[in-house]
Amino acid sequence: MSRVFITGSSDGLGRMAAQLLIEQGHSVVLHARNEERGREAMSAVPGAETVVTGDLTSIAQTRNVAEQVNALGSFDAVVHNAGIGYREPRRIATEDGLPHVFAVNTLAPYILTALIHKPKRLVYLSSGLHQNGDAGLEDLVWEQRPWQGQQAYSDTKLHDVLLAFAVARLWPDVLSNALEPGWVPTKMGGPGAPDDIDAAHRTQVWLAVSNDPNATVTGKYFYHMRLRAPNPATHDQALQERLLAECNRVSGVDLPIV
């Protein structure tokens, strides 16, 4: 049995992954934005161990989520599932003055990776749209560029793969991988999304707990439990280091290099 923490697991793919893990006999800790959604998550996922709460748009609350997780003990896997979609029509600022989508999709996974005690496996949800992300890593917080919601989303999904691969390189004792679940009809994907919803949550579960040799790898990118070629820029160590440095600068949180 494995013990797994999943961010953004009050609904959507995170909830589906939690339900499947519990069906398979694993222990799952959920995450929700606030206490009300936390209660809803616990009702929707019978058998979950507990839920931690915190709004990942906030640096302070994200740090507190990490503290709550660490207080629960060690985990075999952490699945960074929480995400904001590409439909935001304007730059919506968080309490820290950051774009909403950057705070949740890029900065929160970085902070949680840095602060949660190292698990055996890390899983980061990206998107096929990461292929269109800006590998220049310029103006990550959209202070200079005119806002484009889909581009902002694509950028953050590129960041997620860069983060996964950087961690795989820097933490050789941790299996760190990224994946795209497909464009599926969740609240984020919309009702017209064409991909298979039943397959969308299975890769993250597989990477989190499976002993399949194909799953016990690191620094790889997957789609439906098969390797897929990511944007070539994600393998650039200099870009990985630039992203880590920017996330460190914005959050004030150091990623331990061990």
Tell me which residues are annotated as active site: 153, 157
Inter-CA distances, 254 with 125, 148, 250, Å: 22, 29, 11
Is residue 43 packed enough to be buried (19+ CB in 10 Å), middle (13-18) or exposed (0-12)?
exposed
Q: Which long-range contacts (CB under 8 A, 24 or more apart) does 192-197 make?
A: none
Across 167-238, where does the E strand assignment appear?
A: 175-180, 221-223, 226-227
Give the length of the chain: 258
Q: Which residues are paired to 179 by β-bridges? A: 125, 222
In the sheet with 121-125, reading across from the earlier edge strand, the strands are 50-53, 27-32, 3-6, 77-80, 121-125, 175-180, 221-223, 226-227
- Under a CB-based contact definition with an 8 Å cutoff, are residues 165 and 178 in contact? yes
- Under a CB-based contact definition with an 8 Å cutoff, are residues 58 and 250 in contact? no
Residue 8: closest CA among 70, 53, 61? 53
